[in-house]
Amino acid sequence: MPHLVLLYSPDVERDVDVAGLCRALADCMLEQRDEAGKAVFPTGGTRVLAYPAAHAAVADGKGDYGFLYANLRMGAGRSQAVHQQVGDNLMRVLRTHLDDLLARRPTGVTLQIDESPGQVYDGKHSSLHPLFNRPA
């Protein structure tokens, strides 16, 4: 551990270099340092895995909608400041790789970080939700 798992609508692959995104996320994880300057994640245990959803229904199904869900599972013992730092930095990498896609079509991006026993970060950035939050 840590394992960062990406689950996404298969159409994301037409616009995003998913392998490159995985490498960038892993590199970001390996760059993280705690308050004492120690590596947050062990190099040998760091994994980023990506899977296109075999089947998916997104929103109302009336548009070219996509999603990418990222879930980082890590062992317990890190501070809230480290959780926030890791989440913010991973979200920055996701945005760097996905913002062009979000600008072209409605896509939801979610990053959650879970540490035993519960969730410690829930960052979201989406161009999909505004389509359904407009005044009627």
Long-range residue pairs from 61-65, CB within 8 A, at least 24 positions apart, any chain = 63/105, 63/106, 63/131, 64/11, 64/105, 64/106, 65/9, 65/105, 65/106, 65/107, 65/108, 65/128
Lowest mean pLDDT among 4-8, 81-85, 89-93, 129-133: 129-133
Lowest mean pLDDT among 32-41, 97-106, 123-132: 123-132
Structural contact between residues 67 and 50, judged by C-beta atoms closer than 8 angstroms: no
Domains of the chain: 3-132 (3.30.429.10)
The pLDDT value recorded for residue 118 is 65
CA pair distance 47, 7, nearest whole angstrom: 14
Six token digits for residue 111: 């990053």
The pTM is what? Answer: 0.89
Question: In this structure, what is the dihedral angle of CA atoms 18, 73, 30, 103, given to the nearest 10 degrees?
Answer: 40
Secondary element (H or E) of residue 51: strand 47-52
pLDDT in tens, 66-93: 999 999 999 888 999 999 999 999 999 9
Strands 3-8 and 66-74: antiparallel
Structural contact between residues 9 and 58, judged by C-beta atoms closer than 8 angstroms: yes
CA pair distance 12, 21, nearest whole angstrom: 12
Query: What's the mean pLDDT in 43-63?
Result: 94
The pLDDT value recorded for residue 136 is 65
